[in-house]
């Protein structure tokens, strides 16, 4: 199993956490997202993923992309340490929490969007940072409200074991801190973050802990 990753790619970070939680080993291959205009646009990468996005997981003759789809695949093919609950309602909730991050926050703040804002729309650095923080705040406000309200929230986003939702939450918080977003209004989220930080899988997946970290 080979994971194409970049230390700061938060979609890769999600899959690194999932691999760790499931105690699976994957060889890592590094794609530098900013060097030489982005190695993900190189000829070799195009065959792996025409979307030019990380992560990509090669395994068993398959070339898999999209982080949440990869995590579900790992969960279906290696049922030990499940990352989704057994009941349909719980699965819906974990997927919805994951998508509240992966569809509503992260797509607006990834590298290519920030580049378009700066290079094409010529926004100022202040406007770019305000954009970033606007979408993080909107998304985390809603997530905090949901997590604080729902009886299903436990030590982690869903119950007392980490799920795919936690795999999405922690990289999003890492990004939010990089852009100095104010997280003080999110006590439930911060409590869950602390619970995750205590687990080796989350610690090992951190960007700073990766061999390609700069």
Binding footprint of a copy of itself on the chain (CB under 8 A): 50-53, 62, 64-66, 68-70, 72-73, 76-77, 88-89, 91-93, 95-96, 98-100, 102-104, 106-108, 112-113, 116, 120-121, 123, 127, 130-131, 134, 138-139, 141-142, 145-146, 149
Output 73 or 174, the one with its CB closest to a copy of itself. 73
Residues with Cβ within 8 Å of residue 195, at least 6 apart in sequence:
155, 156
* Least gap, CB of 214 to a copy of itself (angstroms): 26
CA 72 to the chain's CA centroid: 14
DSSP 8-class letter at 150? -
* Least gap, CB of 155 to a copy of itself (angstroms): 21
47, 52, 54, 60 alpha-carbon torsion, rounded to 10°: -20
Of the candidates 145, 209, 135, 147, the one whose C-alpha atom is nearest the C-alpha of residue 175 is 135
Output 115 or 178, the one with its CB closest to a copy of itself. 115
* Least gap, CB of 206 to a copy of itself (angstroms): 23
């Amino acid at each position: 199993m080979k994971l194409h990753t970049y230390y700061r790619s938060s979609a890769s970070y999600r899959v690194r956490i999932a691999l760790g939680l499931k105690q699976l080993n994957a060889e890592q291959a590094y794609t530098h997202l900013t060097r030489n205009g982005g190695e993900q646009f190189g000829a070799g990468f195009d065959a792996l993923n025409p979307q030019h996005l990380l992560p990509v997981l090669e395994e068993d003759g398959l070339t898999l992309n999209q982080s949440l789809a990869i995590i579900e695949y790992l969960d279906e093919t290696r049922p030990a340490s499940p990352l989704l609950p057994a009941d349909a309602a719980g699965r819906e909730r974990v997927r919805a929490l994951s998508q509240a991050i992966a569809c509503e926050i992260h797509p607006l703040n990834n590298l290519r969007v920030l580049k378009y804002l700066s290079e094409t729309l010529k926004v100022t650095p202040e406007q770019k940072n305000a954009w970033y923080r606007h979408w993080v705040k909107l998304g985390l406000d809603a997530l905090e409200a949901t997590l604080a309200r729902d009886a299903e929230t436990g030590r982690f986003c869903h119950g007392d074991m980490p799920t795919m939702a936690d795999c999405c939450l922690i990289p999003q918080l890492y990004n939010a801190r990089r852009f100095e977003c104010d997280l003080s209004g999110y006590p439930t989220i911060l409590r869950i973050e602390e619970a995750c930080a205590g687990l080796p899988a989350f610690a090992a997946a951190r960007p700073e802990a990766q061999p390609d970290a700069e």
